[in-house]
A and B are shown apart, each in its own frame.
Chain A
Amino acid sequence: MDQQTQPLIQVETIPRGRALLRFVRQLAFALISIAVLVVVFGFLNPRFLSPVNWFHIAQQVAVIAILAIAQTFIIATAGIDISQGSVVALSSMICAIVIVDTHLGIVLGILLTLLLGALVGAIIGGSVVVLGVPPFIATLGMLAIALGAALLTTNGTPVFGLPESFQNIAQGTIAGFPNMGWIAIVLALISAFVLNKTRFGRYTLAIGSNPEAARRVGINVPRHLMLIYILGGVISSLAGIVYLAYTAAAQPTSGANYELYAIAAVVIGGGSLFGGVGTILGSVLGALLMTILKNGTQLAGISSYVEQVILGIVVIGAVYIDNLRRRLR
C-alpha cells in the first residue's frame, strides 16, 4: 500500500486480532454496564428477564437506536444534530397525513417521508457546507423549523386513524421479535458495514479526525459532509415513521428531546464529540443501556427520578472511562 497517497487508510491496517481487541475495549463500558444492570434488575424483579420484557425492550430501544445510528455518522465527522426530535415529529406528521388524508397509500407515504428527511438533511448540510454555519447552530435552526412545520401541517391537531397494516411496521413481529427491533438491527448492520468497511465510512472518520488532512489527501469534504447530513436526515425520518407506527398517533410534539438521548447513546457507546471516533454497535449498545435503565427501574419499583440521575451519571462516567482508556494506551 502506498503510504504517500493513502496515509489515512493506513490507520485501519493494524492486525486483525488487535483491531478486534480495540473494538471490544471501546465497547467495554457499555457492555459491562449492561451486564451489571441486567443482573441487578433480574435480581430485583425476575420478570425483568422474561422474554416478553425483552420483546418490549426491543420495541422501546428501536427509535432511539435508529436516531443514534444517524447521530453516529454525524458525530464521527465532528458534527452534531440536535434537530432529530423535531424531525421525528415532522416526519410522523407528514407520513400520517399522506397515508390518512390523501389516500396515496402506505408505500408512497413512507417514500415521501424519507424524501422529506433527505430534504431536511440537505438543508442542514447546505447551511453547514455552503453558508459555513456550525452544525450545532444549523441543526438548532432546523429544530425550530421542523417543529414549526410539524405544527403548521395540521395547525397543531394530531392525526389518527392509521391502518393496522401501517402500525404493523412497528407492532408486528417476525420470528417472535418485534418488527421495529428488526428494522433497527438491519439498519445497524448496514450502517456498521458502511462506516467500517467502505471508503465512505473511512472518509467520514477521516474528516472527523482532521478535516484539513482529509482535504489534502483529496477527499471532497463539503460534498461528503453534505451526503452525511442527507443520510442523517433520511435515517431520522425513518425513526419518525417507526415512532408513528408504534404510537399509532401523529403528534406535532412527539419526539421532543430524543436528540439528546441519541447523543447520549453515541457518547456512552464510545463516540467522541470531537469526531473521528465512534462505532455503530457502540451507539446501539448505548441506546440499549438507556432503555434497560428506564425499563428496569420501573420493573424494580425504583423512582423515575432516580433513573434520570443514574442516566446522567452513566453518561459522565462513560466519557470519563473513555478518556482514562485513551490515556492509558
Chain B
Amino acid sequence: MLTTRLMLAGLGAAALTAGAALTAPQADAATPSATVAALATPAKPAKHYHFELITKSNASPYWLAVRDGADAAAKKFGVTVNFEAPASGLDLAGQIAMVNNAVTAGTDGIILAAQNPQALLKPVKSALAHRIPVVTVDSGLSPNIADCFLATSNVGAASALAKYTAEHLMNRKGQYAIVDFNHTASTGIARPKGFMLGMKSYSAIKRMGPIQYSQNSVSKGLRIATTMLTQYPHLDVIFGANDRAALGPAEAVQRAHAKVKVVGFDADLGEIAYVKSGIIQASILQSPYDMGYYAVVAMLDKLAGKTLPKRINTPYFLLTPKNLSSAKATAAIRQYAPNYKPGS
C-alpha cells in the first residue's frame, strides 16, 4: 500500500483509484496524449520490414534497453531492426548523417531518439518526404513532426519526483541542487524544469546555485557534486537528471559520508545498489524497453494504414528504498535490465 501511495504522489486522484503500478502520468500541459493502449496489436506484416533505430549514443545501458525492447518486438512480428547511434551522445552531425543514410538505405521506418529537438528536423522532414514513417522515442522534435512520439512525460515525472522529495525527504523545507546531464536534449531541458516546477509550491525550499551539467559523465558528476557538498554545507538533496547524472552525486555523497540525499532518474545496476544503500532515496524509472517495443508496434500500425496518436506517454515508476523489493519495482527495473532479480 505504501508503495502505491509513494509512487502516486503528485499524480492525482484519478490515477490513485486506478492503483496500477505502472501508471501513465498526466500529459505535459497542452499536448494531447495517449498511452500505449492506443496502439493496436499488429498482425504479422506480409512484407519483411527493415527499420532503423537511431539513438543518441551506442553504449549507454538506457539505449541498450530501448534496443532490447525493439529487438523483442522485431522478433515477435518478423521484422528487422538495425541499431545505429553515434559513439558519443554529443555527436550531432553524426546523428544527422545517420538519419540521412537511413533514408538513402531505403529503410521502411526510422525510430529516433533526437540528440537535439531542432537540429534533427530537416533530416526527419526529408524522411517523411520520402514516405518513410518516423517514430521518435524518449527525446522528440520541436515541433513534433514525427508520426508518433513515445516518451515519459518528463516534466510530469520530474515534478512528481520533486513533490515526493519535498514531502518525504525534506519535510517541506531546506536546500536542493541540480545536476543535469545535457542542456540540449529535450529530456535534459524538461527534467530540471519539471523538478523546479514541483518545488515551486514549497516556499521554504530553496535551490542552491545554477544547474550544473555533467555532460553524461559519471566522473564529472562526481566532481561537481563533491564541490557542491563543500560549497553548500546545508544542502539536503541533489537531483540528478538521468542515470549518469545521479550516479556521480551518489558516489560523491558516499565518499564524503555526507547526509545529503540523492534523487534521480533511471535505474542502471549502479543506481539500484545506491537505492539499496539509501544514498539514492528516490528515482524515476522510465520504460526504455517498452519505448523500443512499442515504437516498433507503432511503426507497424502506421505501415498498416492506421492513424497514430501524435504523443504517447510511456509509464514511469517511482523507486524508493522502501519499495525496492516489491514485485512492481522488479518489473520496473527489468525495463532497464531484463535479467534483474531482486536481491541480486
Contact = CB atoms under 8 A, between A and B. Distances in A.
Interface of A: 45, 47, 50, 52-53, 56, 59-60, 63, 151, 155-158, 160, 171, 243, 246-249, 251, 253-254, 256-257, 294-295, 298-299, 301, 303-305, 308
B56 to A, nearest CB: 12
Contacts of B119: 247-249
B289 to A, nearest CB: 20
B60 interface: no
Given A47-B106, A298-B101, A254 B58 contact: no
Contacts of B82: 298, 301
Given A158-B184, A247-B93, A295-B101, A304 B84 contact: yes
Interface residues of B, number: 34
The CB with the most chain A CB atoms within 10 A, among B85, B105, B182, is that of B105
A243 B119 CA distance: 12
Contacts of A299: 101, 104-105
The CB with the most chain A CB atoms within 10 A, among B52, B83, B94, is that of B94
Contacts of B213: 151, 156
B118 A47 contact: no
Nearest to A155: B210
Interface of B: 50, 52, 58, 80, 82-85, 87-88, 90-94, 96-98, 100-102, 104-106, 116, 118-119, 122, 182-184, 210, 213, 215
Contact of A254 (B50, B92, B104, B215): B92
Contacts of A151: 213
A56 B183 contact: no
B118 A56 contact: no
B105 A298 contact: yes
Contact of B93 (A160, A243, A301, A305): A243
Contact of A249 (B88, B97, B116): B116
A251 B90 contact: yes
The CB with the most chain A CB atoms within 10 A, among B83, B87, B119, B182, is that of B119
Given A158-B183, A247-B119, A253-B215, 9 more contacts: A59-B97, A246-B93, A248-B118, A256-B90, A256-B91, A257-B91, A294-B97, A295-B101, A298-B102
A303 B83 contact: yes
Interface SS of chain A: helix
B58 A304 contact: yes
A156 B183 contact: yes
A305 B58 contact: yes
Contacts of A304: 58, 83-85, 87
A160 B118 CA distance: 8
A263 to B, nearest CB: 16
A193 B50 CA distance: 46
B177 to A, nearest CB: 16
A254 B210 CA distance: 22
Nearest to A88: B93
A52 B100 CA distance: 10
Contacts of A294: 94, 97
Contacts of A155: 210
Contact of A158 (B83, B88, B104, B116): B116
B338 to A, nearest CB: 20
Contacts of B83: 303-304
B178 to A, nearest CB: 13
B105 A47 contact: yes
Nearest to B80: A301
A62 to B, nearest CB: 10
A108 to B, nearest CB: 24
B66 to A, nearest CB: 15
